[in-house]
Structure 1
């Protein structure tokens, strides 16, 4: 292979890192401040320090590193998600908690890989409705099918993998046209720049051939490197059927009495495919594990539950299952949900801690956190914000006051540019911000549950 071709092919494994990507929520943010001249009892600060003195940023950073580096991407329903669940279960059990594994079913899904003939990997997502391949996958040339219209196919498409641009037709129509032309697989690339691969929806249609989504940059690189030079790719899709995920729940109740009020502390431990998930959400998981350690022995007068949920990334399925299976009695006794997601990013612009609520209104969780931040001098600004898209939604839906603690950029509410990309690594995680989140949320929880 000549040097020019090597450089071009190498683009396929790195091209996703060449542009920026952020998620911006609707503009409804309210910086919040504590009431002026409020008298803080000295004992409150003393209780805060009992928590803060024990929260270890080194321990949290190490746990996040284990999840992101040792285990890696923890895609829902896969062995690595199960490994993360086992890690969490073992830690909580070692701390002396009563631990429950709550298993639930998830929709059938596919996991795919795409490699060029010189073994460069192209990041890919597999939509529901895609067909599968053998364990070895399919190795074939690519066919440039433009937009995937019927007239874009010729007899040359037969036996090849159709490479199709997003636009004009539905994804299902593009795939159907490829099937009718005799293609044995379909790759659809985006028509706008993004770091994450396209996730095409097939609208409920199920196809016999494998279908995948890739970025615009990867599609253009494949046109140049593979189609133009008549090379092949290997496309492998393994269908996961009758798969389950699980929630790991650690409970601690006061030693005396019953029917105690319940405070739920939640974080999801799964990640998207190809992303190590250091920020999203090894960070929240690591903080929740550390708070479980810190709060395991202090006297309490309320029940606390640490809920580590799976399958967040495919529609909040774990938290929905947990919340919807609470009994009427448990719901009546539930007073708060502290949910942590992406609390440790080192991205400089994410200088504020957003307190996302579904209705944009303050509740017992945001009020408690604000009062705590005032007492302990939390460095970052706290912003009340109307936003779902994390597990606090599931608690809110069953009537439990809930807040999602997450770092965003003030003003734009943008998430870090590494969100849902291969760059979501420990390189961009801040031990100091993990400590800040642990101090704030930990002291807030303890102010509610302590005797």
Structure 2
């Protein structure tokens, strides 16, 4: 799940009454009224064939055999090939959309002969092959008064907090720092992932963990030992969307339903839950629905480069013709649906405006029919590929597991601990049945 668009806005009521939470705005919609006409056997055509163990196999390949799948890397490319080959074997017509992505920065930090994990923000300057070597300067929080003339030519070590990252870097640069390292003020195993907005730094910049920052501050800085920060810029990189389409027979200009997930991850994170889980469920649904009669066009779309700003889904939606947008009735987007974190007991249905639509209403109707164990919670939030569909004028919902009330994500989010052992096969089965029944309710030829 990306963090670059639309911060959370909590609804005035998060709607957690009873074991089945949903917004009263669903009311007695047409979708719910029609649901009474469905036989449970109709759902069974899908849910009895959904096999979570197959999804687990996909997650294992993506997260363990490939590992982190950063946009534009060979690992992301291998993931795209894996998805394409599977969908081809299922008999789908496949379209591959290749698109350019912003320059990618990757870096390393060496101190006392040890490598320190870093994240390099977009907007940082790069170094030459030898890197930037220098001693550290303790700049506290990075206020102008935290710098003296002694920072000239040194690498400023700054704590996160109070000021924006861009202001910290600007103050350090104006004081004469040759580079900037910002360490987190919160515990975590992943290096600090910063957003500089539109700010373009004139010096190399890196983010590190709180533990690493304190180690540099207490062990390296007092000895006046040099550290080396190396940042490489990868230019002209590309990523891919993989699109599998089924069109109904004898239906002219059918409605289109988009079922989507992103397959890339962030640096250092194997991405088992974020988002091999969503990818694996959509792959399994594609296998099941490859041959059932449908009366609407069904598109399974796998996005690259979600984690760097929803780039793949933006490209996909912007490439839709005006006529395709008019025929598009909804988007089911799956992101982080498989965590075993015991506090993530609710399936959140995130919409950008916080309002229900055909996708959320259909999911509510399916959950009632199936007696889905986990409550559904309608919530106002962006930060995943459903944003691109909403901005393109298409009803969309992001399905994701969170903790009720707090809406917190699993503690493994964007960390090296996002691995297979923290995936729940039972929850994969639950979401697969729920989304499968919902999708088939809309596209199935009854």
> Residue 358 in 1 paired to residue 349 in 2?
no
> Residue 94 in 1 paired to residue 84 in 2?
no
- Residue 174 of structure 1 and its aligned partner are, at CA, apart by 4.1
TM-score by length of 2: 0.88
Pair 1:378–1:170, CA change in 2 (3 A): closer
Cα displacement string for residues 18-54 of structure 1 (whole angstroms, at most 9, x for unaligned residues)? xxxxx97624423139989989668631121111121
**Does the CA-based 8 Å contact 1:25-1:413 persist in structure 2?**
no
Pair 1:45–1:71, CA change in 2 (3 A): same
1:333-412 aligned at under 5 Å gives the runs: 333-412=327-406
- Residue 215 of structure 1 and its aligned partner are, at CA, apart by 3.0
**Does the CA-based 8 Å contact 2:260-2:303 persist in structure 1?**
yes
Aligned to 1:29: 14
Instruction: Report the more deviating stretch, 372-381 or 221-230.
Output: 221-230
**Does the CA-based 8 Å contact 1:117-1:234 persist in structure 2?**
no
Identify the match of residue 79 of structure 1 among 54, 74, 83.
Answer: 74
In structure 1, what is the Cα distance between the partners aligned to 2:145 and 2:381? 44
> Residue 234 in 1 paired to residue 228 in 2?
yes
In structure 2, what is the Cα distance between the partners aligned to 1:313 and 1:363? 26
1:36-435 aligned at under 5 Å gives the runs: 44-122=39-117, 124-148=118-142, 152-153=146-147, 157=151, 159-167=153-161, 171-176=165-170, 178-179=172-173, 183-202=177-196, 204-435=198-429
Instruction: Report the more deviating stretch, 193-202 or 359-368.
Output: 193-202
- Residue 190 of structure 1 and its aligned partner are, at CA, apart by 3.2
Q: How many residues get paired?
A: 428
In structure 2, what is the Cα distance between the partners aligned to 1:58 and 1:230? 54
- Residue 298 of structure 1 and its aligned partner are, at CA, apart by 0.9
Instruction: Report the more deviating stretch, 340-349 or 364-373.
Output: 364-373
Instruction: Report the more deviating stretch, 74-83 or 288-297.
Output: 74-83
Unaligned runs of 5+ in 1: 1-22
Pair 1:152–1:95, CA change in 2 (3 A): same
In structure 2, what is the Cα distance between the partners aligned to 1:172 and 1:368? 43
In structure 1, what is the Cα distance between the partners aligned to 2:159 and 2:306? 29
- Residue 360 of structure 1 and its aligned partner are, at CA, apart by 1.9
- Residue 157 of structure 1 and its aligned partner are, at CA, apart by 4.2
Unaligned runs of 5+ in 2: 1-6, 16-20
- Residue 109 of structure 1 and its aligned partner are, at CA, apart by 3.1
Instruction: Specify the SS of the correspondent of 2:71.
Output: coil
- Residue 136 of structure 1 and its aligned partner are, at CA, apart by 4.7
In structure 2, what is the Cα distance between the partners aligned to 1:172 and 1:412? 29
TM-score by length of 1: 0.87
- Residue 340 of structure 1 and its aligned partner are, at CA, apart by 0.4
Instruction: Specify the SS of the correspondent of 1:388.
Output: coil
Cα displacement string for residues 205-225 of structure 1 (whole angstroms, at most 9, x for unaligned residues)? 434431112233321121122
**Does the CA-based 8 Å contact 1:24-1:415 persist in structure 2?**
no
- Cα RMSD of the aligned pairs, angstroms, is 2.7
Pair 1:40–1:254, CA change in 2 (3 A): closer
**Does the CA-based 8 Å contact 1:109-1:127 persist in structure 2?**
no
